[in-house]
Chain A
Amino acid sequence: MNKFSSNIQKEARKIGLTSGERESMRLRLEGVMQEHHLSGGGPVPSPYFSFITPRSAVPALVLIIVIGGGGVSFAAEGTVPGDLLYPVKITVNESVRGRLAFSPASKAEWHATAAERRMVEVETLADRGTLTPEVRSELEANFEDHAQEVEGIVDEAEAEDPVRAADIRTRFTSTLAAHANVISRLGDGSEDNETRRESKDFAERVNERERKFARADRPVAVKTERDGSGETTVRTFAKTDMAAPAPTLSVAVDADTAVAVRLEENASTTLREAQVEFDSVRSRLNETTVSQVRDQISRVRGQIEHARDKRIGGDASRAREDGERALHDATALRTFLKAQSRSEQNVLPATISDEKDEDSRDDEGRTEDRSAELPAVQLPL
């Protein structure tokens, strides 16, 4: 090694993982390694983990890996409140996963996933007809915690990374809207009075959260500037507050275009996932439902193409709006199909999203009219 190299290496050695980061990574790797082994049939879950508190979550995971080969945490994943391993899911699995998200965007995505896990649990309990007020309030509190985290992080990230912030915001609000509907439908279909009432309450709470989060969804104004070195910088700030620009974002392309591209990509991915869900449940659906779902898939595909055309044609803000709508509808479709695959009940509504007169979708009308954009609830197929 020559001296130049050793000089640089000496300095570079200052860049390294902290012991905490190294430990988190090691744990994640161990977890994944053990999970893989379980796919061939894991050990019998132990009932002795309900004493675990979040504070002891990481050592507990090590304990579980050592004793149970990771099988307990793996087996706990699909549980709901009342199940033996549910505490492991919340206090071990989720706590560890939360710690492994480092960047704000990953953290926001993790909290959005956790909030969605609570909604899916409510759906499972509503489907079983066993949603009690105690469990509902416990799940609601946990849901609220995660949802608030998403909002806080996304609000903060708005200035620094508007593309990712807009993406997470759209996906999260779409997920909330879709789950609120699924929960209502499953609750309404229940024979248990308590379940019906509690599902309705939870769905209302989710809808409230969705409306609140969507209200904060202000369009972003964009100005491009070229500095001395010729590099293009983009300044973004909320349209409602033009006087106070947010910090400069160094992106090579127009921010609206970047958001539109991201939304298109995510809408396509989500639609592909919906298609996979559809393939797995279609044998249980009647012909009318199959053809309606098929129509909806092609309609969302059309929306994505429309958004792409607008973007290529240079209408970035319209492309962004269309992309948001496509992602919203694709998410609704995927959520309904997933719920359908978990439930014996008829979950699918006839239309996933109401067609609306495009001109009425102005910024002011948007928030108030949002409930009208939700999937029709009263339409059993």
Chain B
Amino acid sequence: MKDTDTEQAFRKAFELHADELFRHASMRLSDRDRALEITQECFLRAWQYASRGEEIREMRAFLYRTLRNLIVDEYRKAKSYSLDSMIEDDEGGQIESLMPRDDTNTLEAAVMRFEGARAIRAIRELPDLYREILTLRYVNDLSIKEIAALIKESENVVSVRLHRALKKLHTLLESEQHEKI
């Protein structure tokens, strides 16, 4: 790719993806300003990578991967997030991962009863492991396959995690509902 082509590709990528990356960063980090900085840093890192002569095949996927690494670094740096919330065991061992996940649609339907705003608020309250998967799937509209490639897990693990995340979200929304009543 010629230099000017790369620059054009970057400008286009910025116009297309800046908002969705920022949205993702804001869902993952509580501080809006940090989310802004991380989004900016994501594009700068991607450019630095390209300027070293490395090829970026899938720009969107590459940007998401870069953003993900920056967020992980941010968690490590801040130390204010409990590591447990990031690495909470969600795969539930063998038995859970072998269970059918056919009721994912049912769960989605159940969660749908609640307004979008409340769902967003509740997602922010979940441990980061679930927050990440729900954001990628429902806020950023990535497919299971794309998420699997991004977080370097099998599609099966992604589906299981998503299913568990939905369950947690549902429980959280239900409990809020009961508290109100």
Contact = CB atoms under 8 A, between A and B. Distances in A.
Nearest to A106: B37
Contacts of A33: 7, 10, 47
B150 to A, nearest CB: 17
B22 A15 contact: yes
Contacts of B119: 7-8, 11
B82 interface: yes
B141 A25 contact: no
A35 to B, nearest CB: 10
A37 interface: yes
B37 A16 contact: no
A29 B27 contact: no
Contacts of A37: 3
A103 B37 contact: yes
Contacts of B14: 25-26, 29
Contacts of B33: 102-104, 106
B79 A17 contact: no
A234 to B, nearest CB: 9
B44 A28 contact: yes
Interface of A: prevailing SS:
helix
Interface stretch (A137-145, A248-256, A333-341): A248-256
A66 interface: no
A250 B80 contact: yes
Interface in B95-152: 105, 108-109, 111-112, 115-117, 119-120, 123, 137-139, 141
Contact of B137 (A5, A11, A25, A101): A5
Contact of A25 (B27, B39, B109): B39
A169 B7 CA distance: 39
Interface in A17-35: 17, 21-22, 25-26, 28-29, 32-33
Nearest to A7: B116
A36 B40 contact: no
B18 interface: yes
Interface string B35-69: 01101100110011001000000000000000000
Given A251-B80, A252-B79, A29 B36 contact: no
A16 B39 CA distance: 11
A252 to B, nearest CB: 5
A44 interface: no
A28 B48 CA distance: 13
Interface string B60-86: 000000000000000000011111000
Q: How large is the interface on B (under 10, 10 to 19, 20 to 34, 35 or more residues)?
A: 35 or more
Contacts of A29: 10-11, 14, 40, 43-44, 47
A252 B11 CA distance: 40
A4 B112 contact: yes
Nearest to B114: A7
B47 A36 contact: yes
Q: Which of A12, A16, A101 has the most CB of B within 10 A?
A: A12
Interface in A232-250: 249-250
B18 A25 contact: yes
Q: Which of A15, A25, A36, A253 has the most CB of B within 10 A?
A: A15
Interface in A219-277: 231, 249-253, 258, 261
Q: Which of B26, B37, B80 has the most CB of A within 10 A?
A: B80
Nearest to A34: B7
Contacts of B89: none
Contacts of B39: 17, 25
Contacts of A5: 108, 137-138, 141
Interface string A99-125: 011111010000000000000000000
B31 to A, nearest CB: 7
Contacts of B36: 17, 21, 25, 102-103
Contacts of A22: 18-19
Contacts of B112: 3-4, 7
A187 to B, nearest CB: 38
B113 to A, nearest CB: 10
A374 B48 CA distance: 39
30 contacts: A1-B141, A3-B108, A3-B112, A4-B108, A4-B109, A4-B111, A4-B112, A5-B138, A7-B112, A8-B138, A9-B139, A9-B141, A12-B120, A13-B23, A15-B22, A16-B22, A17-B22, A17-B39, A25-B18, A25-B39, A28-B44, A32-B44, A32-B48, A36-B51, A100-B40, A102-B33, A102-B37, A103-B31, A103-B37, A163-B79
Q: Name the 6 nearest CB pairs between A and B, nearest first.
A: A11-B116, A103-B33, A4-B108, A102-B33, A7-B116, A251-B80
Interface of A: 1-5, 7-13, 15-17, 21-22, 25-26, 28-29, 32-33, 36-37, 100-104, 106, 163, 231, 249-253, 258, 261
Given A3-B108, A7-B116, A106-B33, 15 more contacts: A4-B111, A7-B112, A8-B116, A9-B138, A11-B117, A11-B119, A12-B120, A16-B23, A22-B19, A26-B14, A33-B7, A37-B3, A102-B36, A103-B33, A252-B82
